[in-house]
Amino acid sequence: MATVETNLAERSGSLVEAHRSFDPRILLFHVAIALLLVVLVSGLAYQQLIKSGTYHERERVQNQRRVLVPGPRGNIYDRNGVLLVGNRPRFAVVLYLDELRQEFRRAFIDVRKAYRGAGDADLPELPSSRQMEQIARATVVQRYLDQINAILHRDEKVDVVDLRRHFDRQLLLPYTLLADLSAEEYARLVESLPVRSPLQVYTSSTRYYPFGSAAAHTLGYVSVNPDIDAADFPQGDLTTFKMKGTIGKTGLEAAFDEQLQGEAGGTIFRVDPAGYRVNPPIEKRLPVQGRSITCSLDIDLQIVAEAKLAEAELTGAAVAIDVNTGEVLALASKPDYSLEDTSPVITRAKFAEIEAKGGWLNRAVQGVYAPGSTFKVITAIAGLRRGTITTASEIDCTGYFAVGRGRVMPCHGGHGHGEIAFSDALSKSCNVFFYKYGIDTGVDAIAAEARRFGLAEPTGIELPFEGSRMLVGDPEWKKRERDEAWFPGDTANMSIGQGFLGVSPLQMACVTASFARGQLRTKPSLLHDPQRTQQRSEPIGLTTQQYAAMMRGFEDCTLEGTARILQLPTERIPNLRIGGKTGTAQVRTGKGTLNLAWFICFAPVERPEIAIAVMIEGDTPDEELAGGRYATPVASAILRKWKEKKDRPAPKPLMTASGA
């Protein structure tokens, strides 16, 4: 018992002694170590389990690259399915620089040895290591180019600056050694080059124009687009290399660029730290051709219109419109340019040549001119609606008309028509009649009528750069723009289509179509829609008798009036009644007086289907007869082709808009 007590006492003493000797700092140290281990383990778990996705994504972005290839553009067809703009293959020889890493390294070693072996006596300063790398790369590329030279019997040299720029910025893209190869050269290279080689023949597409310069202003052209749209291609966060595509610059190519643009395809690669491709493609997608469009043009009418203008070496424009739908059948402007000169790119010299002759201006849409006597249709309608002109109105034309304080304004040619009534005044284009009744009607009514027909604003056709320089002047405009009062002579001038007026041939074609349909507005369109119904707008506002009197005047103009040239054997179109109005305007320019010859018409008179406006620039004689002599034959040629096609069954379309 005593022994047990002794043991208990000793053990208690030991515990007390141990407790007294324990250091709290050691406890804190152990706690700190434990906490640190918890933090480290937690951090590691956080990085491995939670942040691993972030690091994986960062590694993916750093080590992967996208190479994008533009899709071919869609085609453009005429209203009958005839191909107007398509694509043809473009051949080039390319070199994949990222496959030449080992060759570049060996060439660099050789270049460095050569320079170091030359000694300081031969070279005052050794090239830098970067410069020697560039020399080495150029040497290797030239060796490959020499292979091509041997096959094609050429002596091409590497552009060192271009090579350096490509290597530094677009390593994953093939480097173009030779572009625009002929089909024969392409065949020789395909036969001669090995299948597995960094040297390959590359095929892309470029625009193809079966009809050359036909409808150049309407169809438009494309230019290089380095920033192709790849919104639908995956992994847009990757560093991306883009093959150059195209973008519409003018005409329908520009207006419908978004629709015509193809969908980009491409490849996603893994690269090493130096930027070289190291693995097969991770993902690959083929490009898709853009959507095609069917325009409203009839290429047969278009070719005839342009040929007739070119035949007489005329500067001007011609527009033909479907009266009922507003679809544009022909839109010609001369001078023009060949679309083939713009594909694949237009040279500066060719651009300047076209600009020097005025070939870029689309006179049918962008040109603004005084309409001359074709504007009398507006003056006549304004007078009839206001009541200052009736179908029985007449005047004794002596060849001159006195306006204001002794100002005398002539009829065309300086001769008088004698007693002349309303319909004859239209057919014979009597200025004196319209001077007198235009002043009676008043500038406000005439200007308001012009605006009702849309002459003071763009037509809204689907072409860029239509412009807004159209002008229908009035007293308020003259005071604001010139700080001058409006005089009766200004009204007399406006009544016959001169003075403060500016319209485009397209606008006058729309006015003609509107009158032929008996309505105010015609909205032109360059897109063909087989389901398009007849346009509806506000009626002109004439009585049946008034409208018939104007129709009679227009038809008489082509039978015995100022457009009687249409009755010549060379111009007459059998079984087609035509209503028309000639016009001539004189505009003072820095080069002197510019004569403008006009002719507007519609056919057939009994049920109009086609409306035409022709405008000719130039030094044309015979003030009023100029329109009949120079502009009328162009319209006649268009009408003849239109009638010829109308009288025969429509040809079977060559292709559908879908390309099937």
What per-residue confidence (pLDDT) applies to 8? Answer: 46
Residues forming beta bridges with residue 155, ordered by sequence position: none
Residue whose C-alpha is closest to residue 138's, from 117, 113, 110: 110
Phi, psi of 272 (to 5 degrees): -90, 175
Residue type, 522: T
Tokens (6 digits) for 227: 């920033």
Instruction: Based on the fold, state whether residues 322 and 270 are members of the same structural domain.
Output: no
CA distances to 317, 427, 538 from 558, rounded to whole Å, are: 20, 8, 28
Same domain membership, residue 189 and residue 246: yes
Contacts of 372 (CB under 8 A, 6+ apart): 496, 497, 498, 583, 584, 585, 596, 597, 598, 627
Residue 384 CB neighbours (<10 A) = 26
Pair 184, 258 in one domain:
yes
Specify the CATH number for the domain of residue 541: 3.40.710.10
**Quick one: pLDDT at residue 181?**
86
Q: Are 255 and 486 in contact (CB under 8 A)?
A: no
Residue 506 domain-assigned (yes or no): yes
Give strand pairing partners of 403.
407
Angle between helices 632-646 and 299-311 (to 10 degrees): 150
197 C-beta neighbours (distance < 10 Å), count = 12
Secondary structure (3-state) at 603:
strand
d(C-alpha 51, C-alpha 365), whole Å: 62
Residue among 222, 464, 217, 213 nearest 362 (CA): 217
Separation between Cα atoms, residue 197 and residue 185, nearest integer Å: 18
Residue 563 inside a domain? The answer is: yes
| Positive or negative torsion for Cα 171, 174, 178, 179 | negative
End-to-end CA distance of the chain: give it in Å, rounded. Answer: 116
**Domain annotation covers residue 140:** yes
Whether 55 is covered by a domain: the verdict is: no
DSSP character at residue 627: I
For residues 227 and 368, state if they share a domain.
no
Q: Give me the pLDDT at residue 44, please.
A: 65
Tally of domains in the chain: 2
The pair of three-digit structure tokens given for residue 308, joined into one six-digit string: 């007739």
pLDDT averages per 10-residue partition of the chain, 660 residues: 50 51 69 76 60 49 71 94 93 84 86 74 70 87 89 89 85 82 86 81 86 95 71 56 79 95 80 70 82 97 96 90 97 93 85 91 94 97 97 94 86 85 95 96 97 94 87 93 94 95 97 95 94 83 96 96 92 95 83 84 97 85 60 96 88 50
Q: Where a domain ends, among 294, 315, 346?
A: 294
**Host domain of residue 226:** 65-294
Cα–Cα distance measured from residue 325 to residue 522, given in angstroms and rounded to the nearest whole number: 8
| 326 shares a domain with 207 | no
Task: Give pTM, 2 decimals.
Answer: 0.81
Place of tokens 């603004």: 368
Instruction: Judge if 256 and 329 occupy the same domain.
Output: no
> 426 and 289, same structural domain?
no
CA-atom Rg of the chain in angstroms: 40
Same domain, 110 and 189: yes
The per-residue DSSP string of 314-367 comes to -EEEEEEEETTT-BEEEEEEES---GGGGSS---HHHHHHHHHTTTT--TTTT-
Instruction: Reduce the DSSP state of residue 537 to 3 states and report it.
Output: coil
Residue 142 located in a structural domain = yes
Question: How much is the pLDDT for 473?
Answer: 93
CATH of residue 177's domain is 3.90.1310.10
Q: Are 457 and 518 in the same domain?
A: yes
Q: Is residue 575 part of a domain?
A: yes
Predicted confidence at residue 192, as pLDDT, reads 84
Q: Which residues of 353-362 are buried (b: 16+ CB within 10 A; e: fewer)?
A: ebeeeebbbb
Residues 328, 268 share a domain: no
According to DSSP, the residues that pair with 593 across neighbouring strands are 588
Contact (CB, 8 A) for 261 and 43: no
Residues 250 and 332 in one domain: no
Strand (E) or helix (H) holding 20: helix 2-21
Which of the listed residues 294, 315, 344 is the one where a domain comes to its end?
294
Q: Report the candidate in 454, 628, 622 with the shortest Cα–Cα distance to residue 537.
A: 454
Is position 58 within any domain? no
Peptide bond into 530 cis (omega under 30): no
421 in a domain, yes or no? yes
Residue type, 171: L
C-alpha dist (Å) from residue 33 to 26, 28, 30, 36: 11, 9, 5, 5
Does 369 share its domain with 388? yes
Q: Last residue of a domain, which of 241, 267, 294? A: 294
